[in-house]
A = this chain, B = another copy of it.
Amino acid sequence: MVQAEKAEKQGSRAGAREDLERAIIDAAERVFAEAGFGGATMQAIADRCGLPKANLHYYFASKQQLYRRVVERIFHVWLEAADSFESSATPEVALRRYITRKMELSRTHRFGSKVWANEVMHGAPIIQDFLETTLRDWTESRARVIRRWIAAGSVRPVDPHWLLYMIWATTQHYADFAHQIETLNQGPLTDAQWDEATDTVCAIILRGIGLEGKA
C-alpha cells in the first residue's frame, strides 16, 4: 500500500489523526468563542475533548497555531457559502440565496462566527494576510457583479461595499449576538422564528435596493 492509499482509508492511522485533529479544532472553536483567545486555556480545550493537555501539543505546536486553524476553517466556510452568489440567474435569486445561506451558517456555525468576529475586532493579528488577499479579492469580485446589476438597471445605485457590509453584519449578528437575541426573546429562536427573520432580512434588503416583488 502506498502512502496516498493509506491516507485515504478511514480507520487507518492517518484517518484517525484527521478525526482527532477535527475533534480538537471543534473543541477549540467553542472554547475560543466562549472565552476569547486570551481567556481560553489549553486545559479547557483539552477537557472539552477529553484529552490530556500534553496531547494537544502533540498535534498543534502552540495555542496560536491551533487558533489559526480554527479561524482558517470558518473563513473557508464563509467563502464556500458565497459561491451560490454568482451561479444564480438573477440578482434577486443570487442575493436571496446568499442571505439565506449566511443565516443558516449563523445558526449552524455560531461558534466559528464568534471566533472570526473576535479575531477581526482585535485587529486580525493572526489572519491579516487573509484579509488583504483572499477576502479582498473575493469582495472586489462580488462588487463587480453588483455593479453590473446596477448598470443593467436591476438594482438601484449603491456602493456595493455598503450593501455587502450590511448583509454580513445583519446575518452574522444572529450568531455573534445570539446571546442577546435569546435573552430578549426569552429563549432560543424557534424554527419558525429563524425562517421569519430570514424572510424579513431578505425582504428589507431586496426591497431596499429596488428588487421588491421581482424575486
Q: Which of A120-170 contact B (CB under 8 A)?
A: 120-124, 128, 131-132, 135-136, 139, 158-159, 161-163, 165-166, 168-170
Contact B121 A176 (CB under 8 A): yes
A75 CB to closest chain B CB (Å) equals 12
Contacts of A176 in B (CB 8 A): 117, 120-121
Residues of A within 8 A of B (CB): 33-40, 114, 117-118, 120-124, 128, 131-132, 135-136, 139, 158-159, 161-163, 165-166, 168-170, 172-174, 176-177, 179-181, 183-185, 196-197, 200-201, 203-210
The contact sample of 25 A-B pairs, CB cut-off 8 A, is: A33-B121, A35-B38, A36-B39, A37-B38, A120-B176, A120-B179, A120-B180, A124-B183, A131-B180, A135-B183, A136-B184, A139-B184, A158-B204, A161-B185, A162-B196, A163-B204, A165-B173, A165-B174, A166-B170, A168-B173, A168-B177, A169-B170, A170-B170, A203-B208, A207-B209
A5 CB to closest chain B CB (Å) equals 42
Contacts of A135 in B (CB 8 A): 180, 183-184
Chain B residue with Cβ nearest A165: B173
Contact A204 B200 (CB under 8 A): no
Chain B residue with Cβ nearest A199: B162
Docked complex Cα distance between A29 and B203 (Å): 37
Contacts of A34 in B (CB 8 A): 122-123
Contact B33 A36 (CB under 8 A): no
Contact B162 A201 (CB under 8 A): yes
Contacts of A120 in B (CB 8 A): 176-177, 179-180
| Interchain CB contact (< 8 A) of A117 among B35, B40, B121, B181 | B121
Docked complex Cα distance between A136 and B186 (Å): 10
| Interchain CB contact (< 8 A) of A39 among B38, B170, B179, B205 | B38
**Most chain B beta-carbon neighbours within 10 Å: one of A161, A181, A204:** A204
